[in-house]
Structure 1
Amino acid sequence: MKLNITLSAAGVILLYIAGSLCQSDVCGRAPISNRIVGGENATAGYWPWQVSIHVTVQGIDFGHFCGGTLITKDWVLSAAHCFQWFNASYIVMYFGRMNQSGSNPYETNMTAIRNINHPNFTYSNFDNDIALIQLSSSVSFSDYIRPVCLAAAGSVFAAGTESWVTGWGLLKPNDTELPKILQEVMIPVVNDSDCYNAYGGVNISITSNMICAGLLNQGGKGPCQGDSGGPISSRKGSLWIQAGIVSFGIQCADPTFPTVFARVSQYQDWIKSYMGSNQPGFVAFNAASNSIFKSVPNLFPLFLTFYFIPFSLFLTS
């Protein structure tokens, strides 16, 4: 991930509880808290829903390959493209993890019993890039491990909404090693039409199932390979709501092409259909559009090599 510069939005954020909130007493709250290209090291407990997903084959841990978020005690949310070559039997998930190589005193890990990719996921334009992973046993919540709230159907994340991305993705393009410490970075939501226009130049359709974020005409901050499946989240008071799932982009933290995320609010019914009686916390988020971050007209798309964000699928190396 790419310098955590404090960004502020002039828009007033209105947030209200909607739908079934069986996790409402814990979701989206980081009790310890009052980077990713251009980011910085996170602090233990600031992102207690962050999951590090590893591939393990015959007892050999091949390390982190995608991110995810804990949404209930039994389920993790991630990106469908992360699981095209790995099924549940190869997945180990780490909760409460900060360091990929050092001590993690608040950590636990779980295997998976199944992963469910959205049935309409397609590689042609990465539409419906969302997946659910069911844990082999329930995880216990703590100050360092707890679920995020999910954006409810109809939620609005207007252009300029402050949003945070977290993960263990590359710190800059063409790096050969992932960072050891969880990174965090803040980037604003990008206007849908600007995102659509940018990607139109490389024949990639931006659909209503996607949300975009980044620093247009500036770049330097955003997800990179290894961050796929992780969250982009926005805050109101002490409550964090996941708006999207890291999906794809053109180069890391590119100034012309914002990063594209699966829009979580589009999948409330699909997610709920697998949860049974223990539903995630869905929260309706509505952000005013008069942010200090303005949409940038007349983008000039560059025909750059397309990449998948997961570290293992970097196609330009």
Structure 2
Amino acid sequence: MYRTQNLFSTFSVLSSSLLSSVCGRAPFNTKIYGGGDATEGSWPWHVGITSTGEPVSVCGGSLINKDWVLSSAFCINIMDTSVDQIVIYLGRSSQFNPDPHQINRTVINVINHPDFNPNTGDNNIALFQLSSSVDFTDYIRPVCLAAAGSVFDEGLSSWATGWGYNNDAESSNILQEVEIPIVSNQNCSIAYNGSGVTITDNMLCAGWLNDVYIGPSFFDEGGPLVSKQGSGWIQTGIIIMTDAGRFPYVFNRVSQYQDWINSHISNEKPGFVTVPYSTPTPDPIPTPDPNPTLYCPDIFSGSSPIQLFPLSLTFFIFSLIFCLFI
């Protein structure tokens, strides 16, 4: 995750009320800026993906409901294993030390996007179905997802997480976190000009436009890029690999895939939230007039709005009698 050397890098309204109270909520996350070791529970949706018998995560992912994990389509290529040999660790903070909050699940189904292009990285997104549902805790919770039509302004503060290679080119023990700003696709395309990498509308960029090697690294593939909106966190991107040695870092744009994700999840749809999230401002409650002016109809000038209906006429007569005595 952190590195100083050139390594190959690879709320609108919630659509599901079932997840509205938990998605994107991280009780132990008080991050404002910085990076480094993540405290336990800071990113309760982050998962580690590996194969049977291998404790080190080779891919990252994010829990999006009790049965599904979102990751990259290239992740299955990295592991080079069958679906029934995939293991997903949830609630994990440390890879090599005992972790009381950690559980694991095998996988019964992997759905790669049908238009995934391994050569360009376009549509690099996949869904992993867990072998059994998980119970949400303070350390295991789903993330909200950026909804279709979301807008990510340049400079938007974002966070990437993973156990990828550190400065010593070794897999990290403690989950790493790093804050990086969103870069517009236009500026990202300029940065990658001549590299052979095409920045498509399905991609999102974050990082810096200079040689600052702070961001995702080896084995962070598939992990989430999130941004805080209001009191919750929303996943805006999925880490994808590039070998161009350029900056900023490239992610898959989650908001492009709301329909595709929902089409494969029949129960408990993920919580989609539009970025930027804004709470509607209610209309102000009018302040009562402490000295209201009584309306008395002027029957002599012909301006009186008399209605020839019994009820209206009755109110008019009472009002007229009252006015004659004041």
Q: TM-score range by the shorter chain?
A: 0.7 to 0.9
Q: How does 1:60-75 map to 2 (within 5 A)?
A: 60-61=53-54, 63-75=56-68
Give the counterpart of 2:219 among 223, 226, 235.
226
Secondary structure in structure 2 of the residue aligned to 1:17: coil
CA contact (8 A) 2:63 2:70 kept: yes
Residue number in structure 2 paired with 1:6: none
* In the alignment, structure 1 residue 278 sits paired with structure 2 residue 268: yes
> Which deviations, in whole Å up to 9, do the C-alpha atoms of 1:175-195 show, x marking residues without a partner?
442010000000001111111
> Which deviations, in whole Å up to 9, do the C-alpha atoms of 1:55-74 show, x marking residues without a partner?
11xxx326310000000000
Residue number in structure 2 paired with 1:76: 69
Question: Scaled by the length of structure 1, what TM-score is found?
Answer: 0.80
Q: How does 1:284-295 map to 2 (within 5 A)?
A: 284-286=274-276
C-alpha distance in 1 between matches for 2:100 and 2:131: 22
Unaligned regions of 5+ residues in structure 2, if any?
Answer: 4-10, 279-326
C-alpha distance in 2 between matches for 1:176 and 1:167: 14
Unaligned regions of 5+ residues in structure 1, if any?
Answer: 4-14, 289-317
- List structure 1 segments (4+ residues) > 4 angstroms apart after TM superposition: none
CA contact (8 A) 2:16 2:268 kept: no
> Which deviations, in whole Å up to 9, do the C-alpha atoms of 1:189-211 show, x marking residues without a partner?
11111111222311211110000
Residue number in structure 1 paired with 2:41: 45
* In the alignment, structure 1 residue 31 sits paired with structure 2 residue 18: no
Give the counterpart of 2:133 among 117, 126, 138.
138
Secondary structure in structure 2 of the residue aligned to 1:266: helix
C-alpha distance in 1 between matches for 2:55 and 2:173: 14
Kindly provide the amino acid, as one letter, of the partner of residue 2 in structure 2.
K
Structure 1 position 250, deviation (Å): 4.0
> Which deviations, in whole Å up to 9, do the C-alpha atoms of 1:190-235 show, x marking residues without a partner?
1111111222311211110000001222413100001110000000
Secondary structure in structure 1 of the residue aligned to 2:117: coil
Distance 1:231 1:264, change over 3 A: same
CA contact (8 A) 1:40 1:183 kept: yes
Give the counterpart of 2:184 among 181, 191, 197.
191
C-alpha distance in 2 between matches for 1:39 and 1:20: 32
C-alpha distance in 2 between matches for 1:152 and 1:276: 18
> Which deviations, in whole Å up to 9, do the C-alpha atoms of 1:64-103 show, x marking residues without a partner?
1000000000000000001123332121011110000002
C-alpha distance in 2 between matches for 1:250 and 1:197: 16
Distance 1:287 1:140, change over 3 A: closer
C-alpha distance in 2 between matches for 1:196 and 1:260: 10
Q: How does 1:167-182 map to 2 (within 5 A)?
A: 167-172=162-167, 175-182=168-175
Structure 1 position 21, deviation (Å): 4.0
C-alpha distance in 2 between matches for 1:287 and 1:25: 16
The size of the alignment, in residue pairs, is 267
Residue number in structure 1 paired with 2:316: none
CA contact (8 A) 2:23 2:144 kept: yes
Secondary structure in structure 2 of the residue aligned to 1:270: helix
> Which deviations, in whole Å up to 9, do the C-alpha atoms of 1:146-187 show, x marking residues without a partner?
000000001111110000000001113xx4420100000000
Give the counterpart of 2:148 among 131, 144, 153.
153
Structure 1 position 25, deviation (Å): 1.2
Which one is further off, 22-31 or 81-90? Answer: 81-90
Give the counterpart of 2:13 among 17, 24, 49.
17
* In the alignment, structure 1 residue 163 sits paired with structure 2 residue 158: yes
> Which deviations, in whole Å up to 9, do the C-alpha atoms of 1:241-297 show, x marking residues without a partner?
00000002347xx6x521110100000000001111210000001289xxxxxxxxx
Residue number in structure 1 paired with 2:106: 111
Q: Which has the larger radius of gyration?
A: 2
Kindly provide the amino acid, as one letter, of the partner of residue 188 in structure 1.
P
Structure 1 position 2, deviation (Å): 2.1
Give the counterpart of 2:250 among 235, 238, 260.
260
More strand by share: 1
C-alpha distance in 2 between matches for 1:138 and 1:112: 11
C-alpha distance in 2 between matches for 1:194 and 1:86: 37
Distance 1:180 1:62, change over 3 A: closer
C-alpha distance in 1 between matches for 2:55 and 2:93: 18
Kindly provide the amino acid, as one letter, of the partner of residue 276 in structure 1.
S
Structure 1 position 237, deviation (Å): 3.0
Distance 1:264 1:87, change over 3 A: farther
Question: Scaled by the length of structure 2, what TM-score is found?
Answer: 0.78
C-alpha distance in 2 between matches for 1:18 and 1:28: 11
Residue number in structure 2 paired with 1:301: none
